[in-house]
Amino acid sequence: MTRAPSPALLDALAKLLGPKGYTTDADIMAPWLTDWRGKYTGRAAAMLSPGSTEEVAAIVRLCADAGVALVPQGGNSGMVGGATPDVGGNQLLLSLRRMNRVRSIDTSARSAVAEAGVILETFHHEALTHGLRFPLTLGGKGSATIGGLVSTNAGGTQVLRHGTMRALVAGIEAVLPDGSIFDGLAPLKKDNRGYDLRHLLCGAEGTLGIVTAATLHLVPAAAARRTAWIAIDTPHRALLLLRQLDASIGRELEGFEIIPHGCLDAVLRHIPQTRAPIAAKHPWYVLAELAGASDQAVGDALERELGAALDAGLILDVVIAKNDRESDDFWRLRDSISEAERAEGPALQHDVSVPVNLMPTFIADNPARLTAAFPGARALSFGHLGDGNVHHHVQPPVGADGPAWLAKHGTAVSRLVYAHVIELGGSISAEHGIGQMKRDLLAELDSPARLAALRGIKAGLDPAGLFNPGKLIA
């Protein structure tokens, strides 16, 4: 068990960090003790906001000596309660937000060193001023921080071409549970000195180390992008289309999102100033985006390939955005799905992945399994088809008392969805992580071999269990 911080420890931390870096003020701490979706609320003995890696190391050493637990936090925009302390009040909230410097940008090597507290959107802008682009983006970009994105191995809508955060991290600096600083910032393309700490810390949700900075890959700023809204019959055909585009223009293909008509319909009903790019109703839509060297080039490529797909009967209809504003309008439909769904009422949300080739099977088969067990339940799958990752939401039957139905059937519905995912070799957390939300689920559903390995790694690196206890694994 971890201990309550003694007054002497709190004094030492207050002295170390000064008034900018230390507070126990309830009003100041409050916004950071509840996750942004309001699902988890915890307590903390104090909030620590160090301004440097050395201060983080000093905090960790003091807390390790005292046996006091630390909960690292970035922008507090996670989806699984991974950055919210428990309700005991003994844990210390460790905010990395003050460490918000972009330490350097190397335009010739196309990389930058950013501290953990740099906000994603700020980093996007900083890269652009150097003619470069950081090719990872997601809804929470205005609050999500580099440290949080690394620690959760964040995904988003550009994974198809550029990979998840893991693929963009060339180096890591972190403070380990013994208070030592691991300096792995040098961007080595080859380094075979044993176990890869960079990959281990990426996605470890702050349970093995406090990420204080990262060296990140950048790409040339895209000169042009062009977006298509495509009507299609089935997810299987969408995958065929993806394979065709991948073979012909794969290098430029940055986005490939699948959207069922039900999602579009909800967006049109609930989100002001939205309209369907294709007036006729079709069962599925694909939002595909190309980024490339020139407007002409990407436009021509999209027209050629999608024209051929239309002629071949693979797709039903297509509209290509004429300019960036129209592209933005298409993306707004995609990005508004969650908001529209909230307006529809409560739903169960599953962030799952399966091998890409099996994703159409999952999308096609799961609703039938669901309605066989739970008559009237409505499933909507949307998202990153090209990554084998959909957000699979289940809504109560029309006319049912939503909250009551979910209270009664929610757990069983999710178990059915996850069992199907596992049957297909998939993951019960594709991009949101485990945190506290899926911790017990993971312990129940993951293979004993893998669970034992996770526990062994945690015990080996954080034997006292002081880094983000209660998250990921019990």
Q: Please give the residues from 346 up to 365 whose contact with a copy of itself meets the rule CB under 8 A.
A: 353-357
Could you write out the three-class secondary structure of 48-93?
ECCCCHHHHHHHHHHHHHHCCCEEEECCCCCCCCCCCCCCCCCCEE
65 binds a copy of itself (CB under 8 A): no
Nearest of 49, 32, 52, 48 to residue 40 by alpha carbon: 32
Run of H or E including 263: helix 261-270
Question: C-alpha distances in angstroms, 207 versus 49, 176, 303, 461?
Answer: 18, 10, 48, 9
Of the two residues 9 and 174, which places its CB atom closer to a copy of itself in the complex? 174
Of the two residues 98 and 439, which places its CB atom closer to a copy of itself in the complex? 439
Selected binder of a copy of itself within 47, 136, 146, 185 (CB under 8 A): 185
Q: How many residues interact with a copy of itself (rule CB under 8 A)? A: 79
Tokens of 268: 């049109």
3-class secondary structure, 28: helix
Nearest of 159, 105, 95 to residue 132 by alpha carbon: 105
36 binds a copy of itself (CB under 8 A): no
181 binds a copy of itself (CB under 8 A): yes
8 binds a copy of itself (CB under 8 A): no
258 binds a copy of itself (CB under 8 A): no
3-class secondary structure, 468: coil
443 binds a copy of itself (CB under 8 A): no
Of the two residues 3 and 251, which places its CB atom closer to a copy of itself in the complex? 251
Task: In angstroms, give the least distance from the CB of 105 to a copy of itself.
Answer: 13
Please list every residue from 143 through 162 that binds a copy of itself, using CB under 8 A: 152-153, 155, 159
Of the two residues 83 and 231, which places its CB atom closer to a copy of itself in the complex? 83
The answer to whether the CB of 291 falls within 8 A of the CB of 252 is: yes
Run of H or E including 413: helix 402-423
Residue 377 C-alpha from the chain's centroid: 27
The structure tokens 């969408």 sit at: 238
Of the two residues 211 and 430, which places its CB atom closer to a copy of itself in the complex? 430
Task: In angstroms, give the least distance from the CB of 389 to a copy of itself.
Answer: 5
User: Is the Cα torsion angle 147, 151, 157, 160 positive or negative in sign?
Assistant: positive
The answer to whether the CB of 123 falls within 8 A of the CB of 218 is: no
Selected binder of a copy of itself within 38, 192, 272, 313 (CB under 8 A): 192
Nearest of 160, 113, 155 to residue 136 by alpha carbon: 155
Beta-carbon contacts of residue 2 (< 8 Å; ≥ 6 apart): 67, 68, 69, 90, 91, 464, 465, 466, 469
The answer to whether the CB of 160 falls within 8 A of the CB of 254 is: yes
Of the two residues 310 and 443, which places its CB atom closer to a copy of itself in the complex? 443
Please list every residue from 213 through 252 that binds a copy of itself, using CB under 8 A: 220, 243, 247, 251
Q: Which stretch binds a copy of itself (CB under 8 A): 36-44, 142-150, 178-186, 314-322?
A: 178-186
Please list every residue from 365 through 404 that binds a copy of itself, using CB under 8 A: 384, 386-389
Please list every residue from 418 through 437 that binds a copy of itself, using CB under 8 A: 424-434
Of the two residues 174 and 340, which places its CB atom closer to a copy of itself in the complex? 174
Task: In angstroms, give the least distance from the CB of 173 to a copy of itself.
Answer: 10
Task: In angstroms, give the least distance from the CB of 472 to a copy of itself.
Answer: 5
453 binds a copy of itself (CB under 8 A): yes
Q: Which stretch binds a copy of itself (CB under 8 A): 33-41, 129-137, 184-192, 393-401?
A: 184-192
Half-sphere exposure of 303 (CA within 13 A, CB side): 8
Question: C-alpha distances in angstroms, 474 versus 54, 207, 431, 435, 466?
Answer: 29, 11, 20, 10, 12
Of the two residues 207 and 395, which places its CB atom closer to a copy of itself in the complex? 207
Selected binder of a copy of itself within 21, 75, 147, 203 (CB under 8 A): 203
Q: Which stretch binds a copy of itself (CB under 8 A): 94-102, 103-111, 318-326, 393-401?
A: 103-111
312 binds a copy of itself (CB under 8 A): no
205 binds a copy of itself (CB under 8 A): yes
Of the two residues 206 and 277, which places its CB atom closer to a copy of itself in the complex? 206
DSSP 227: E
106 binds a copy of itself (CB under 8 A): yes
Question: C-alpha distances in angstroms, 164 versus 10, 217, 324, 355, 431?
Answer: 38, 12, 25, 16, 9
